[in-house]
Structure 1
Amino acid sequence: MTDRLRTDLLHLGVIAALVVLFLTLPTYYAGNLSRIMVLAIYAIGYNLLFGYTGLLSLGHAMFFAAGMYGYGLTAQLAGVPALPAFALGILAGAALGLVVGALALRTAGVAFMIVTLMFAQAAYLTILHFGTYTRGDEGFVVPSEARIVFGIDLSGETERFAAALILFALVLLATGRLVRSRLGRTLVAIRENEERTRMLGYDATRLKLIAITLSGALSGLAGAAYALLFGYVGASFAAVPYSIFPLLWVLLGGAGTTIGPLIGVFFMFYLIDTASGITLAYLLIVGVALVLLTLFAPQGIAGLIKRRLPWLP
């Protein structure tokens, strides 16, 4: 069996496992799967930039928010139907990724992190400044008619899960193919040794710009999906925590692996959920667990699995 076939079977198995979990878990836990899959798409977008290309961004919330507001504002203010508004959300994330990437790539290392954080803060403050339209931290509810796709109301639990699963499956399978393609392998080469990649004749700056744009598009897709499926748009999703979350998810799940983002989101989501049911100081428990996991599994959960299964993408 080839590694490519093993990878495809692994991804299909993950998708099938999510369906089984939805059908067997209690209602509360099954209902969380939709949110986990949407956030996992966001983490996959971040992983493409950080895990595969080696660029550490501290401002990814601006791409998530761009997709969310790209969808939400066009649906609310212009009355655009769900699918065109959703496409505009993805386009907003990609366009912002292209613009920010073209400017941020003039820097490198720590400076790149700081520049992305500054852009994210500027985006957050812009949302607050135009509160007349964005409603600031209060946010707004997406009109019910803008959550209907092909006559199906996505506010229902089963319909929401099906839509989230379809989006996650498409992103997971597409990402799996991308990282095995020539572009994906070149991005990994940039991560490992950018200077040598340049010496081989590759335009590393152009390739990194492509990676940022694709990452912005996936993050924008996640933001638009969140607004579409959960019916809410708010400035809190553009704040600093939502730039730190994807970094934690990817580090915990396993940077540079296709299933790591889902594992990281799943682990952290239920870690916070369980700890908050035990004590009000749940962040202390979460922090200790994260430190221990980072110390004893620095390559993440999927990284541990990859030691035994080297073909894991």
Structure 2
Amino acid sequence: MSMGGRVLGLHLGLLVVLFALQFVLPAYHHGNIARIMVLASYAVGYNILFGYTGLLSLGHALFFAAGMYGMGLTIQHAGFTPAPALIAGILAGALVAGGLALLALRTSGVAFMIVTLMFAQAGYLTILYFGEYTRGDEGFVIQQAQRVLWGIDLSDPTARYFAAWGLFSVCFLLSLWLVQSRFGRTLIAIRENEERVRMLGYDTYAHKLGAMVVSGTISAAAGAFYGLLFGYAGATFGSVQYSIFPLLWVLLGGAGTVLGPFVGTLFMFYLIDLSSGVTSAYMLIAGVALVLLTLFAPQGLTGEVRRRLWKGLP
């Protein structure tokens, strides 16, 4: 089998396993894996910008929240049904990502990181300020009757799982295709040496702008689906914490690998889940795990597999 065939087989194999797990997982883990797939989609979006383009953003919660509130507010206040509400959430995230990109990409390095953080905080404060509509910190519940898509009740565990699987499959395969395309290879070249890419005649600004819009749109889709599938939208999802989480997931799984976001999200989710049953300082355990991985597996779990066993793993 060719290298490309093995790569495609591996990634499709993961999707087949996740599909099959729906029929065998106990209820607790069934719900967990559905949640992990949606959050891993968020991490996939983050990985395109950070892992492949080399831009460290601390503001991705802005896109996640834009998708969530774009979906949730149109259902709550405009009477949208789930399908157009999801589209509204995704478009909201794409517009926010495009607007932020036009401003943030005027900077680089640490300044870029700070600018994205500032705008994310502004978004979070906006959610709190318009509490009359967003319900602020308390958030709002999306009722079961409002979560029926094409006659399918997304509050049903099986329907929710398959919807999460569908979202993750699209984001995952899109990421695989993107990084193997000419555009994706140019992003990787920008990450490695932007000045040389610019000297070769490529418009690096346009490529970074495109990467940020794609990244923000995928993150917004994850936010919109999260709110719809789990029936809740709250300001917490726009806080700094939810900008740090995708960074941790990508670092743990392996930045710049297609599998890394899912592996890192799965690892971190269950690490926090298990350690929170032992101590209230569960984030300390997560921090120790990250330090150990940084010391002994600096390229992340999937990154180390690529370095040691499979050089051609995208």
The TM-score bracket by the shorter chain reads: over 0.9
Q: Secondary structure of 2:23's partner?
A: helix
- Corresponding pairs, count: 313
| Aligned equivalents of 2:64, 2:181: Cα separation in 1 | 26
Q: What does residue 86 of structure 2 align with?
A: 86
SS of the residue corresponding to residue 305 of structure 2 reads helix
TM-score normalized by structure 2? 0.98
Shift of 1:280: 2.6
Are 1:244 and 2:244 matched, yes or no?
Answer: yes
CA deviation map 1:103-143 (0-9, x unaligned) = 00111100000000000000000110000000001000113
Residues 58 and 116, structure 2, Cα contact 8 Å, conserved in 1: yes
1:172 aligned residue: 172
1:62 maps to: 62
Which residue number in structure 1 is paired with residue 40 of structure 2? 40
SS at match of 1:193: helix
The residue type paired with residue 46 of structure 1 is Y
1:181 partner letter: S
What's the counterpart of residue 199 of structure 1?
A: 199
> In the alignment, is residue 4 of structure 1 matched against residue 4 of structure 2?
yes
Q: Give, in whole Å, the separation in 2 of the partners of 1:136 and 1:172.
A: 32
Cα distance between partner residues in 2 of 1:223 and 1:80 = 17
**CA displacement, residues 13-59 of structure 1 (integer Å, 9 cap, x when unaligned):** 11112123333332211210110000000000000000000000001
Task: Give the equivalent residue in structure 2 for 1:309.
Answer: 310
Provide the C-alpha distance between the structure 1 equivalents of 2:24 and 2:145, rounded to a whole number of angstroms. Answer: 31
Q: What amino acid does structure 2 have at the position aligned with 1:163?
A: A
CA contact (8 A) 1:45 1:214 kept: yes
Whether the 8 Å contact between 1:36 and 1:266 is mirrored in structure 2 is yes
**1:84 Cα deviation from its structure 2 partner:** 0.8
CA RMSD in angstroms comes to 1.0
Aligned residue for 1:104? 104
One-letter amino acid matched to 2:7: T
Deviations 1:167-190 (A, max 9, x none): 111111111111100100000010
- 1:291 aligned partner: 291
Please tell me whether the aligned partners of residues 254 and 260 of structure 2 are also in contact (alpha carbons under 8 angstroms). yes
Q: Which amino acid aligns with 2:233?
A: V
Q: Which amino acid aligns with 2:21?
A: L
1:144-183 aligned within 5 A: 144-183=144-183
Q: Distance in 2 between matches of 1:177 and 1:256?
A: 14
Measure how far apart 1:195 and its partner are.
Answer: 0.4
Q: Could you tell me which residue of structure 1 aligns to residue 231 of structure 2?
A: 231
8 Å CA contact retained: 1:248, 1:264: yes
Retained in 2: the 8 A contact 1:153–1:159?
Answer: yes
Which deviations, in whole Å up to 9, do the C-alpha atoms of 1:234-269 show, x marking residues without a partner? 000000000000000000000000110000000000
Task: Answer yes or no: is the 8 Å Cα contact 1:8–1:173 preserved in 2.
Answer: no
Equivalent residue letter for 2:3: D
Paired residue type of 2:60: H
Alignment match, 1:51: 51
1:220 maps to 220
4+ runs deviating over 3 angstroms: none
Deviations 1:56-111 (A, max 9, x none): 00011000000000000011100111111101111111110100000001111000
Aligned partner letter, 1:255 = A
Q: Is the 8 A contact 1:257 1:312 kept in 2?
A: yes
Gaps of 5+ in 1: none
